């Protein structure tokens, strides 16, 4: 298959075909406008390939997700998040020596500049941690100027990966009025974050293994998801050659929305609402089906997955295990399972292939770990950070890369004559 033919208004145009390594077929329309004057129209980009990428493969029909060729189930089972970071950013899993060096540099760069702490003083106590995270990541660019060569760029990437968890934990401490806990170089990435979240100066805190393992799994499962809204935003902003901190900050803001990463917070709020309203599942399923009602089942549905989300499967299983190990009995887990059962028996959800997505069970695990609801999307951002960085690098290293600039079909007024204000009725 090397080309396709398009018949438009009696003229025939040949469109080159591009085929990916998993056999995905794309029609290359990049010259179509020059040849015919027509553009393609695809609101929401549901059927548009914005780039070619060698980072993550998803088959939404079969529920397949692979980072750099490795199935998510295998990585979830036995890989540390820091290895996954290395894999996504560098393309290969690290050797032991590479891993030690990488881990060490991630640890060494965890501190944030002391002056940056002053910014935290300025945020309102009610500030959403996503607002703090996105603005503080942007602020990093004022401390670490634009990298001009490969080495400086790599250093900025390490800084970003290392400091994001510190900023995230500080944003939580700020919200509860506790002193910041500095990173501890003897701890792993996950332990360090949990220690900065939960330790207090007056008391030593031994990070429980069950928390470290649960966090590791959550971060691995969120690490990349090809051209989703936030990653496409990072690529879009980065395509103007904006620096990495500015580009990632934009991605964090894109993630915040309830249809994307903000859904994990909304799921818990929805489950709480259902519980306090007498656990009437059918009522909420009916509301979600009602087109005159804005309510949707949060944590349900996906643009790409049409049979199951492999991450949701792993998290459902993990929710049972983590809650049991922690001795937590959360009624919301039962409510989530019942809601899933009722929805999956309903014709509306079956016909539209709407299944629980990654956000449906993740919040229940975060809750059991003691992470407050308004931090859930920050947790998603920490997980997605390596994916965003890998895409930013891939885009910047593409010798054929161009600024992202879609077209539109204009539907406004055609030309009309300006009327001075005194002559307008
Ligand atoms: N509850 C009720 N109806 C739904 C839902 C839902 N959660 N999701 C989709 N639908 C319906 C939608 O109304 C539409 O119906 P119809 O064909 O009658 O117009 C049909 O299903 C197709 O949905 P869509 O909105 O066209 O699908 P999309 O690909 O544009 O949106 C989605 C995908 C994830 C934004 C959407 O399913 C949704 O809003 N889900 C709830 C929010 C959520 O859980 N987001 C997290 C996504 S996964 C993690 C991430 O990417 O961050």
Q: What percent of the chain has pLDDT over 90?
A: 95
**How far is residue 95's CA from residue 88's CA, in Å, rounded to a whole number?**
14
For residue 359, indicate whether it is catalytic. yes
- By DSSP bridging, strand 64-67 and strand 25-27 are unpaired
Average pLDDT over the chain reads 96
Q: Give, in degrees to the nearest 5, the angle at Cα 49 between 45 and 52.
A: 150
* pLDDT, tens only, 280-322: 999 999 999 999 999 999 999 999 999 999 999 999 999 999 9
Give yes or no: 260 in active site. no
Query: 300 C-alpha to center of ligand 1: Å?
Result: 7
pLDDT over 90 (residue 148): no
Q: What is the pLDDT of residues 182-228, one digit of tens each?
A: 999 999 999 999 999 999 998 889 999 999 999 999 999 999 999 99
Query: Model pTM?
Result: 0.96
For residue 360, the ligand 1 atom closest to its alpha carbon is 44
* Residue count (the chain): 425
Please name the residue whose Cα sits nearest to atom 51 of ligand 1.
260
Range 6-16 average pLDDT: 96
Mean pLDDT of 320-345: 96
- Does residue 146 carry a pLDDT above 90? no
Whose Cα sits closest to atom 24 in ligand 1? 303
Q: Please report the DSSP string for 180-232 in residue order.
A: P----TTS-HHHHHHHHHH-BTTB-----HHHHHHHHHHHHHHS--SS-HHHH
CATH number of 3-59: 2.20.28
What pLDDT does residue 145 have?
Answer: 84
Tell the residue nearest (CA) to atom 32 of ligand 1.
302
At residue 210, the pLDDT reads 96
- What is the predicted pLDDT for the residue at 204? 80
Q: How far apart are CA 371 and CA 194, in angstroms?
A: 9
User: For residue 335, is pLDDT > 90?
Assistant: yes
Query: How many H-runs (helices) and E-runs (strands) does the chain carry?
Result: 18, 6
Q: pLDDT, tens digit, for every residue of 381-416?
A: 999 999 999 999 999 999 989 999 999 999 999 999
Cβ atoms of 102 and 94 within 8 Å: the answer is yes
Catalytic residue among 224, 260, 359, 391: 359
Ligand 1 mean position, distance from CA 353 (Å): 10
pLDDT band, very low/low/confident/very high, at 2 (cuts 50, 70, 90): confident
Q: Which atom belonging to ligand 1 lies closest to the Cα atom of 357?
A: 48
d(C-alpha 368, C-alpha 68), whole Å: 31
Domain limits, the chain: 3-59, 73-220+231-256+373-384, 263-369
- Looking only at Cα atoms, what is the longest distance across the chain? 79
Take atom 15 of ligand 1 and give the residue whose Cα is closest. 352
| 316 Cα: distance to centroid of ligand 1 (angstroms) | 20
Q: Ligand 1 centroid to 137 CA: how many Å?
A: 29
Q: What is the CB < 6 Å shell around ligand 1?
A: 44, 228, 259-261, 263, 288, 296-303, 352, 354, 357-359
Q: Which option is the CATH number for 263-369: 3.40.50.300, 1.10.230.10, 3.30.70.20, 3.10.180.10?
A: 1.10.230.10
Q: What's the gap in Å between 226 CA and the centre of ligand 1?
A: 18
For a mutational test of ligand 1's pocket, the pick from 232, 287, 301, i.e. the residue with the most ligand atoms closer than 8 A to its C-beta, is 301
Whether residue 134 has pLDDT greater than 90: yes
Q: Give the mean pLDDT of 46-50.
A: 96
Q: Which atom of ligand 1 is nearest to the CA of 300?
A: 7
Q: Decide the pairing of beta strands 11-19 and 64-67.
A: unpaired
Q: What is the pLDDT of residues 53-103, one digit of tens each?
A: 999 999 999 999 999 999 999 999 999 999 999 999 999 999 999 999 999
Catalytic entry in 224, 302, 309, 346: 302
pLDDT-based confidence at residue 425 (cuts at 50, 70, 90): confident
CA gap 88, 24 in Å, rounded: 21
- CATH annotation of 73-220+231-256+373-384: 1.10.580.10
Domains 3-59 and 73-220+231-256+373-384 share a fold: no
Residue-wise pLDDT tens digits, 348-376: 999 999 999 999 999 999 999 999 999 99
Centre of ligand 1 to C-alpha 116, Å, is 39
Q: How confident is the model at residue 30 (pLDDT cuts 50, 70, 90)?
A: very high
């Amino acid at each position: 298959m090397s080309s396709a033919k398009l018949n438009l208004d009696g003229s025939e145009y040949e469109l080159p075909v591009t085929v990916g390594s998993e056999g995905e077929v794309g029609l290359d329309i990049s010259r179509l406008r020059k040849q015919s004057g027509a553009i393609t129209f695809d609101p929401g980009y549901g059927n548009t390939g914005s780039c070619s990428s060698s980072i993550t493969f998803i088959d939404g029909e079969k529920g397949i997700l692979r980072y750099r060729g490795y199935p998510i189930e295998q990585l979830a089972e036995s890989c540390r998040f820091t290895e996954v970071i290395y894999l996504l950013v560098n393309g290969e899993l690290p050797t032991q020596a590479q891993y030690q060096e990488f881990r060490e540099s991630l640890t060494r760069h965890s501190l944030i500049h002391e002056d940056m702490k002053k910014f935290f003083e300025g945020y309102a106590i009610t500030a959403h941690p996503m607002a703090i995270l996105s603005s503080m990541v942007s602020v990093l660019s004022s401390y670490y100027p634009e990298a001009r060569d490969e080495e400086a760029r790599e250093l900025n990437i390490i800084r970003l990966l290392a400091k994001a968890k510190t900023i995230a934990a500080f944003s939580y401490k700020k919200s509860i009025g506790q002193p910041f806990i500095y990173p501890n170089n003897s701890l792993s990435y996950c332990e360090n974050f949990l220690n900065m979240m939960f330790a207090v100066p007056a008391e030593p805190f031994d990070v429980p293994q069950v928390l470290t393992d649960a966090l590791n799994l959550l971060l691995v499962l969120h690490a990349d998801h090809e051209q989703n809204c936030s990653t496409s935003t990072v690529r879009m902003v980065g395509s103007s050659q904006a620096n990495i901190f500015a580009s990632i900050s934009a991605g964090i803001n894109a993630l915040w929305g309830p249809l994307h990463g903000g859904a994990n917070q909304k799921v818990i709020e929805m489950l709480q609402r259902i519980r306090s309203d007498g656990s009437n599942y059918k009522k909420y399923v009916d509301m979600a089906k009602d087109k005159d009602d804005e309510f949707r089942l949060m944590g349900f549905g996906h643009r790409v997955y049409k049979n199951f989300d492999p991450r949701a499967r792993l998290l459902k299983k993990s929710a049972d295990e983590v809650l049991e190990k922690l001795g937590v009995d959360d009624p919301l887990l039962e409510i989530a399972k019942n809601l899933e059962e009722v929805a999956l028996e309903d014709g509306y959800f079956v016909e539209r292939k709407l299944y629980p997505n990654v956000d449906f069970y993740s919040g229940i695990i975060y809750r059991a770990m003691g992470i407050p609801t308004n931090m859930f999307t920050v947790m998603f951002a920490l997980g997605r950070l390596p994916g965003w960085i890998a895409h930013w690098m891939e885009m910047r290293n593409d010798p054929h890369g161009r600024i992202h600039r879609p077209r539109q079909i204009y539907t406004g007024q055609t030309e009309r004559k300006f009327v001075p204000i005194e002559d307008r009725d």
